[in-house]
Amino acid sequence: MRKETKIEEVPFEEAEYCVFDFETTGMSGKHDKVIEIGMVKIRAGKIADTFSSRINPGRPIPYFITKLTGITNADVENAPFFDEIYYKIKEFIGDSVLIAHNLSFDYSFLKHECANADIEFPPNESVCTLRLARKLYPELKSKSLGNLTRSLKIRHRDVHTGLGDSMATAKILLKMFPILRDEHNVDTVTDLVSFQNYPTATKPYRIIKKKLLDDFSRIPDEPGIYYYKNSKGEILYIGKAKSLKDRLNNYFSNNAIRKEKDIVRRASSLEFQKTNSELTALIAEAEMIKIHNPKLNKMLKKYPRSYFLKLITTHDFPAVEVSPGFDFDGNDYYGPYPNRETAGTLKEVVDKAFRLRECKDKEFKKSRRCYLADIERCLAPCVEKDVSDLYEDEIKNVYEFLSGHNQSAVDRLLNRMKELSARQKYEEAAQSRDVVQSILSQINKASILAEPINKANVLIEISGPVNNDYLLMLEGKIILRNYFIDSKNKFVNALNDYFENASQMNLKISEKDIEKLRIGLSWLVKNKNRIKVHYLKNYSSAEELASSFIFLNKN
């Protein structure tokens, strides 16, 4: 990102990054040359694009470099020189923040290659993942690229190639994002650049106001939210933590980022509210920020995007599509799924196992029979006038499948495989076989709910570090047990109302409910091993439900 661009307000997760890596003829940027470049573009927290090229160094490649990288003199003989390909490199970089592991090494080569070719050196902001790793993973003896990928369980393909190493670095950076925000209060690109530059302190703590240190001494090692207040008792800043003690410890460290130091400098007291789980802390933080609008909470936090399968039930002949969000718009949403690929693969299963239309409404209105109808993958409601009942049966089968009942789809596809094989249509049969394998791998278990979000009535047990949490979801409305912001007994009353009046429930969903649901689903899909979902329709009373709980309280 160019220095003249005002980046201080850009949330760091939403910024654009260019992760780059050079393979070179040696270790000196001044005396050696680049032989390969690999670049990976990150946009809004996702890997979006790649670029790689061999580069002619204009000199022989040393034998030990060939042994390390696999790049030979023949590989670069007809490759472009650096100045010939720089316009492509510069175009790919654009206004991105430059990222490299051991940035000083790659930066030195970039600087000298530009100087030798008499071309402009990119004035972008830059961040070194090695420097970040030293602060985020102090327990690791080595912060090398190889050790980080092993420790973080990242698959590192094509080691010692420009694209292979830059891709590994990009994945490491994305792994760092939640830690940077949740544990170190990094919000913007400016915070990120500043954070990497703070020296490792020889003294672990700074001199702080005695009242703040007294308040800090009472902080528990439990989830919750915290409030910094000024001398007038006004709330300056609200945050949340998986561990209040660990999180707030960062504010009093010499390694605290500039924003944390500013908060502590202005604050006169520190208060906290314990919660049973990180999820309740997340929801409470968002709600309390909206209630109090603290001066130093400059922006609302962003939560990782989840994906859904949307059944467009507002159409006479519903279709299924992947949706990056959900709404209470009369359609049904299954999910959440952790990424677009998982949701897309599941949609492909639905498309190949059930004969629903796959066309957009615009195409449907043209009333033209398509290829999918010819191969019997669609009932063709656009041209067939007597398929309403058959189509409704297919929709019921899709609902059953998305609710976790896979056998009907498997049986149908196996029969289709036999028919296609008998007709010697082996390619189509192989496609059906692949879909069966996807089903048998139980990809739809990536979701946490077996009912549409807008219709789900569930109680979710959440295993907490000390006490457990209980989340009630009633047709999109979320209610937490013992939630300090809600009125007393709201959870118990809502649960009893369900069992007494389940058939008469008509809950109104507010924007506040939708925000809670977004936060809740985002957290739940990443913590499936810590939750148990109970479907209320399977129980006759709250007492029967309570007897089925699986997590024990720790105290």
Torsion of CA 349, 351, 352, 354, to 10 degrees: 100
How far is 137 from 154, CA to CA, in rounded Å? 15
How far is 275 from 292, CA to CA, in rounded Å? 19
How far is 361 from 10, CA to CA, in rounded Å? 37
What averages of pLDDT result for each successive group of 10 residues across the chain (555 residues)? 53 93 95 96 93 96 94 96 95 94 95 91 92 91 94 92 96 94 84 80 58 88 95 94 91 82 91 96 94 83 75 92 89 86 84 88 89 85 90 90 69 64 60 58 63 91 92 92 91 91 66 88 87 94 92 69
Instruction: Give me the architecture of the 210-292 domain, per CATH.
Output: 3-Layer(aba) Sandwich (3.40)
State residue 107's pLDDT score: 93
Q: Is the preceding omega at residue 336 within 30 degrees of 0, hence cis?
A: yes
How far is 177 from 5, CA to CA, in rounded Å? 22
How far is 195 from 134, CA to CA, in rounded Å? 11
State residue 224's pLDDT score: 96
Largest CA distance in the chain: 83
How far is 289 from 307, CA to CA, in rounded Å? 26
- What are 354's two structure tokens? 């059930």
State residue 345's pLDDT score: 82
Cβ atoms within 10 Å of 310's Cβ, excluding its own: 25
- Work out whether the CA dihedral 25, 29, 33, 39 comes out positive or negative: positive
State residue 551's pLDDT score: 82
pTM: 0.67
Class at the top of the CATH hierarchy for domain 16-197: alpha beta
Is 344 within 8 Å of 337 (Cβ atoms)?
no
Contacts of 430 (CB under 8 A, 6+ apart): none
Domain positions in the chain are 16-197, 210-292, 307-446, 457-546
With CA atoms as reference, report the closest residue to 219 among 274, 284, 281.
274
Q: CATH topology of 16-197 equal to that of 210-292?
A: no
How far is 283 from 381, CA to CA, in rounded Å? 44
How far is 525 from 511, CA to CA, in rounded Å? 21
